[in-house]
A and B are shown apart, each in its own frame.
Chain A
Amino acid sequence: MATTTMVELKPKDFKGKVDPDWCPGCGDFGLLNAVQKALAELGKKPHDVVCVSGIGCSSNFPGYLNAYGMHTLHGRALAVATGVKLANHDLTVLVTGGDGDGYGIGGNHFTHTARRNVDLTYLVMNNQIYGLTTGQVSPSSDIGMKTKSTPFGNIERPVHPTAAAIINGATFAARGFSGHGKHLVEIIKQAIEHKGFSHVDVFSPCVTFNHDNTYDFFRERVKQLEETGHDPSDWKSAVEKALMWGETIYTGVFYRNDEVPALHELEPILDEGGPVAHREPGLTKEQAQRVLKRMM
C-alpha cells in the first residue's frame, strides 16, 4: 500500500550488496546509475520494487540494486516478471537484461508481454554482442559484423527492437544511451510511471568485445527525439524513426499510449480484494457448496 514517504531516499540507498563485476567502462554502469537515480527521484521504496533478469552480463543487474530481485533464466525474465506482477500488482516491476537474452531466446516472450501490455518496465542493455560468452554475434548485431561466431562477417540482418515493440503493442517505447545519463534518467522515470508495458532499449557499449558500436559510434549519431518535435502519439512516425540506423540514430520516447489498460486492469478478479498473493488461500463455504452442487 502507498504511504507518505517520510524519508527521501537517495540513489545510494538503492545500491546493492555488492559492486558490479562489469568491465571498467561497460555501458551497463550508466543504466545502473540512472535506475538508482530514477527510483530515488520517484520516491520508490526498495521493498516495493522487484527487478527481474535473465542471464548475461547485464542480467547480473538485480544483485547490484537494493530491491527485491530475481536473477532467473536466459530469455525468461519477462515471463517470470509477468507472474510477479499478476500475483502482486502493487509492486513496481523492472526487467533488466541484454539483447541476446531479450531479443534472441527471449524474443517470443517479448512479443507476448508487449501485446498483453503487462505493467512493467523492460530495460534492455543493448550492446549488440553476446558478452558473457566472450563475443558472439547477437540478434541486434549489424550485418557484416565480425565476431567469434561470425569471423568472416555476419550475414544476417538485425532485429528492430523498438519498431518491433511498437508493432507488437508496447504502449511505451523508448531508447536511451548510456553515455547520456541525464536523458536516460528522465526516460526511465517516464517508463516506470507509465501504466503498461514500457520498453527502453539502451545503447550500452561493450568495451571488451564490440569494437564497432562504441561510445564514439553513438556519440556521433545519437539524436534525442525530444529535440526534433516528434509526436510520441504518432506510431507510424515512431516506427519510421525507430528503423533509422545510419548517420542518425534516435533516442528518446518514440511512442506512448496511455489509453490502453494494463493487463492487470482488465482482470476482473483484481477489481477488489488487493493483490492475489495477499488473499486468504482456499475457498469459502459458499464457493465450495456451489462447486459441488454443479457436479451433482
Chain B
Amino acid sequence: MTARYDFAFAIGGAAGQGIATPGNILARIFVRRGLHLNAYNAYQSIIRGGHILLTVRVGEEPVLTHGDKIDLLVCLNQDTMTRHARHLAAGGHVIFNSDDVKPAEVAAGVEICGLPVKELTNDNRNKLVQNTVALGAMLNLMGAEFGVLEEALAQQFKNKGKEVIDENVGMARAGYEYAKAHFKPFHQALPKGKKPLAVWTGNEALAMGGAAAGVKFYCAYPMSPSTGVLHWMAKNARELGIMVRQIEDEVGVANVAIGAAHTGARSMCATSGGGFALMTEALGAASMMEVPVVFINVQRAGPSTGVPTKTEQGDLWQALGASQGDFERIIVAPKDALDAFKTLAELFNLVDHYQCPGILLSDLLISEGTFSVDPDEVDMHPKIDRGALILEGGGGGEYLRYLDTESGISPRAVPGVPGHVHVIATDEHDEEGILVSDEFTNPHKRRQMVEKRARKLNDFLKKVAAPKIEGPADADVTLVGWGSTAGVLKESVALLAERGVKANHLSVKWIKPLHADDIARALSKAKKVLVVENNHSGQFYRYLRSETGLSVAGHIRKYDGEPLQPHHMVNGVLDHLGAKKDVADGVYVPYQEVLV
C-alpha cells in the first residue's frame, strides 16, 4: 500500500528574483490536475533583496497546513542554500544554478541537483531564466509530464507573444531533460486527482465572498497584508458593477463605508491592525447610528508597525474593545480561506438584520496563503437577506427610524425614500432621531435607547452555529483554538493519534456574541484542555476565561511571526502531557527552526 502522497517544495531567493511566478505556475498545474495545495510565503517588508521562502505542499486531499518538511528545495541564491538546505531529509532534492550557487552540506540521502543554467540557456543574460530552467527540472523530479508545463507556460506568457512562450518552453525543456539525464526523481510520482480544482489566496476569497454576498461598495487604504482584497476588488469592479475606491486614510475609509452603507449599498472595507485602530471611532459611530458595515482586519504581528509581513492573532482584544462605550458588534474569525468566503455571506445577512457593524478577523496566514479549493464548494449565489430594509415609499403614518420594538430592531429606510425622512445621529437620540444629548438630556429616554440597541442581539446565538468538538469524545487532551489555527489543530490531532495520543479539538469561529454556555459545556467533559494561539498574552484564553470562568491545563503560544507547524503542536502536546521540559508558567512556546 503506497503512503499517502504528501509532497512539499520550497523556492527561496531575494525579493525581485521572481519567486512568485514559478509558484503560481506550479499551483495552476497542480489544481488542473485535481491536486490540493497549501502554500505559505515567508517574505519581508522590502521590494528588492532580503529573503523569501515560498513553501507549497501538495496532496490528494485538502491540505491543512504547509507541513513540517521540504522535499524539494530550489535555491535561487546562495542565501537560500545556506539557510535551508540542511533541513531536508533523506530522499529530498536541492536544485540550484551551479553557475552562481555552491552546494551546502546536506543530510545523507539528499540529492544535490546543480543546473548549469548558462549552458542550458545558451548563455541568456536574463536573470530570471534560471527560474524557468529550474521549473523544468522540478517537474521532471516530481514525475510529471513536460506537456503540463508547456501548457502552463503558454498561459502564463500568453500576452507576451509566441516568441517569448517558445523561448521559455525551450529553457524549461532544457531543465527538464537535464534533470532526467542526471538526477533520480522522487520515489512517488505526482498523482492525478479526481477533478480539476481552483486556486485562490485568502484575500481573494474574502473579496469574492464579499462580491457574492452582494457587496456593491468597497473602499480601502493599502495596508499589508490586506491589500490583496483591494487589488481583487479593483480589478473586478467594472465587470461586477462594484464601486471601489481608495481613500486617503483609514479614518476616511471607515466613514466613507458608513455613508455608502447608510444609503443602502452593502459596504465592506479591509485593513490590518494599525488601520483598524484608526477605524475605531467609526466603529462605534456605525453601531450608534445602527448602520450595517463589515470591517475586515487581516491581523499581522504587532504591536504598532510590528512585523508587517508576519502573522499573529494579536488583535482579539482590539476587536472586542475598540471604540468607547457599550455597543453592539459582531466579531467572527473564519478558520480558512473557504470558510472566510462563506462567512461573508452569513455575516452580511447578520449585520443587515441586526443593523450593527461586523468585524471579520483574518490573519496573514489565511489572507496571503494560496490554497486549492473545490469550485463546487464555492457558492457564488448565497442567500441575500437585507433585513428590515425599506427601499420604497408609501405606507402612512409617521416614520420613526429608531422605533423601540420588541426585538430592538427598527425598520430602516434609506435616503431617497419618500415619506421616511429622518436624521441619524452619533449623539444619543430618541425614537425619532432627535438628540437627547444636548438641549434636553433625558435619563428615561437614554435608558430606553441603550436597552433597545442591546436587545437586538439577544437571539444571535440561536442564529449561528455553536462550535463543536471534533475528534474522539474520550480524548486525553482537548486542543482549543480560534480562527486560522483550525488547520494545524486538525492536522496535529491526526498526527498525535499516530503517536498513540488521543486528542480532539475545538475551533471557535464566532467570537462575539460568544457561545459561552456551549463552549463551557463541551470543555467541562474534557480531560485536559490546552489553548493554542498565535500571540504572547493568551488573548483568546483570557477572553474565554472572562466569559466562562474556565481555567485550563496549559497553553501553546507562538508569537515569533511564523505560523504553527504540525510538529510544533505535536511536540508541545507531548511535552505538556509528559516531562514539561519546555513548559514555563503553563505555556509551551515552539521553537522556529526554519529561519525566514
Contact = CB atoms under 8 A, between A and B. Distances in A.
A125 B472 CA distance: 68
B248 A109 contact: yes
B415 interface: yes
Nearest to A18: B434
A109 B253 CA distance: 11
B238 interface: yes
Contacts of B422: 68-69
Contacts of A88: 263-264, 414-416
B490 to A, nearest CB: 24
B158 to A, nearest CB: 13
Interface stretch (B83-91, B299-307, B374-382, B500-508): B374-382
Which 9 A/B pairs are nearest by Cβ-Cβ distance? A83-B259, A281-B214, A69-B423, A277-B264, A288-B380, A79-B255, A83-B260, A295-B198, A87-B263
A278 B264 contact: yes
A83 B261 contact: yes
B285 A73 contact: yes
B242 A47 contact: no
Given A21-B438, A47-B420, A63 B425 contact: yes
B151 to A, nearest CB: 13
B216 A281 contact: yes
Contacts of A111: 248
B241 A86 contact: no
Given A17-B434, A47-B418, A63-B434, A71 B263 contact: no
B239 A281 contact: no
Interface string B420-451: 11111111000011110011000000000000
Interface string A17-41: 1100100000000000000000000
Interface in B197-255: 197-200, 204, 208, 211-217, 219, 236-243, 245, 247-249, 251-252, 255
Given A87-B260, A112-B247, A268-B238, 13 more contacts: A47-B418, A68-B421, A68-B423, A69-B423, A70-B425, A76-B255, A83-B219, A91-B416, A112-B248, A269-B238, A277-B416, A285-B381, A296-B375
A70 B238 contact: no
B32 to A, nearest CB: 7
Contacts of A63: 423, 425, 433-435
Nearest to A112: B248
A277 B242 CA distance: 10
Contacts of B241: 269, 273, 276, 279
Nearest to B282: A73
Q: How large is the interface on A (under 10, 10 to 19, 20 to 34, 35 or more residues)?
A: 35 or more
A292 B208 CA distance: 10
Contacts of A273: 241
Nearest to A105: B251
Contacts of A150: none
Contacts of A268: 238
B591 to A, nearest CB: 37
A79 B279 CA distance: 13
A71 B255 contact: no
B438 A83 contact: no
Interface of B: 31-32, 196-200, 204, 208, 211-217, 219, 236-243, 245, 247-249, 251-252, 255-267, 281-282, 285, 289, 373, 375, 378, 380-382, 384, 386, 391, 393, 414-427, 432-435, 438-439
B231 to A, nearest CB: 14
A83 B257 contact: yes
A60 interface: yes
A69 B434 CA distance: 11
Contacts of A62: 423
B425 A82 contact: no
22 contacts: A17-B432, A17-B434, A47-B418, A47-B421, A63-B423, A63-B425, A67-B421, A70-B262, A70-B289, A71-B423, A72-B426, A79-B247, A82-B256, A83-B219, A91-B416, A108-B249, A277-B263, A277-B265, A281-B266, A282-B384, A292-B380, A295-B204
Interface string A79-109: 1111111111011000000000000000011
B285 A72 contact: yes
B426 A71 contact: yes
B415 A50 contact: yes
Q: Which one of A47, A62, A84, A279 has the greatest number of beta carbons of chain B within 10 Å?
A: A84
A267 interface: yes
Interface of A: 16-18, 21, 45-48, 50-52, 55, 60, 62-63, 66-73, 76, 79-88, 90-91, 108-109, 111-112, 267-270, 273, 275-279, 281-283, 285, 287-288, 290-292, 295-296
Contacts of A91: 263, 415-416
B252 A112 contact: yes
Contact of B255 (A48, A73, A90, A296): A73
Contact of B242 (A50, A51, A76, A269): A269
B243 A73 contact: no
Contacts of B243: 86-87, 267, 269-270, 276
A46 B421 CA distance: 7
B208 A291 contact: yes
Contacts of A17: 423, 432, 434
B425 A71 contact: yes
A234 to B, nearest CB: 29
A25 to B, nearest CB: 17
Contacts of B211: 283, 291
A158 B421 CA distance: 38
B215 to A, nearest CB: 8
B417 to A, nearest CB: 6
Nearest to B423: A69
Contacts of B420: 47
B355 to A, nearest CB: 15
Contacts of B424: 69-71
